[in-house]
A and B are shown apart, each in its own frame.
Chain A
């Protein structure tokens, strides 16, 4: 069966520090991968999605970037964090035509 791993679960980082959040999927090939941010426990904002290795689409321009170095690995990065980057980050995957499956999320607090 397919599983999705996202880590770390919580992270506290100072302003100006770099960020790397990792997400991996097991049990499937060539998934569509997504990064979402949820602010204040409510709406989800689609940040990036990827339909294949090296193929990244950005929905909202901001202080973050994403990479997909391997088929089932999706990384969210920042060179210098801002206070406004705080939030709950969620990784998700789908196969074409299916529903999306989510990881457990990373709570990022920028201090």
Chain B
């Protein structure tokens, strides 16, 4: 079975500091991993994905994620956080039948 885990319910970071939102995965076969962001009462917006290739994936709004096979992790990162980055972030994995399974979400608060 495919699954992802987000160990932190809440992450707080000061504006201008680097941010990391953690995700670990459990898959059989090659992992197809994704990050999404959700603002209040809105649908999810796609940020980036890892299918194959470079372990460092760059996405929208200055976000990037690092795929680490040995640690089965896919952490989301940004070098310098903005107040507008405050939102709910979801890690996801695509199953063999094209289902998408999401983590429980991490609420990011960027403090001015």
- Measuring CB to CB, which residues of chain A are less than 8 angstroms from any residue of chain B? 6, 32, 34, 36, 41-44, 46, 49, 51, 57, 59, 88, 90, 92, 94, 96-97, 99-105, 107
Partner of A100, one of B41, B97, B100, B105: B100
- Measuring CB to CB, which residues of chain B are less than 8 angstroms from any residue of chain A? 34, 36, 40-46, 49, 51, 88, 90, 92, 97-105
What residues of chain B lie closer than 8 Å to A59, measured between beta carbons?
99
The chain A residue with its CB closest to the CB of B46 is: A99
B8 → A minimal CB distance (Å) = 13
The chain B residue with its CB closest to the CB of A10 is: B41
On whether A43 and B102 interact (CB within 8 A), knowing A100-B34, A101-B46, the answer reads: yes
B12 → A minimal CB distance (Å) = 17
Cβ B88 vs Cβ A41 within 8 A: yes
On whether A105 and B42 interact (CB within 8 A), knowing A49-B99, A96-B98, the answer reads: yes
The chain B residue with its CB closest to the CB of A91 is: B43
On whether A46 and B101 interact (CB within 8 A), knowing A104-B42, A104-B43, A105-B41, the answer reads: yes
Cβ B49 vs Cβ A99 within 8 A: yes
Cβ A42 vs Cβ B43 within 8 A: no
**Complexed CA–CA distance, A20 and B43 (Å):** 19
On whether A51 and B46 interact (CB within 8 A), knowing A41-B88, A42-B105, the answer reads: no
The chain B residue with its CB closest to the CB of A50 is: B98
What residues of chain B lie closer than 8 Å to A100, measured between beta carbons?
34, 44, 46, 92, 100
The 6 closest A-B pairs by CB, nearest first: A102-B43, A43-B104, A44-B102, A102-B44, A104-B43, A99-B46
Cβ B42 vs Cβ A34 within 8 A: no
What residues of chain A lie closer than 8 Å to B40, measured between beta carbons?
41
**Complexed CA–CA distance, A44 and B49 (Å):** 18
**Complexed CA–CA distance, A104 and B38 (Å):** 10
The chain B residue with its CB closest to the CB of A105 is: B43
On whether A43 and B105 interact (CB within 8 A), knowing A102-B43, A102-B44, A104-B43, the answer reads: yes
Cβ B44 vs Cβ A43 within 8 A: no
B7 → A minimal CB distance (Å) = 14
Cβ A43 vs Cβ B46 within 8 A: no
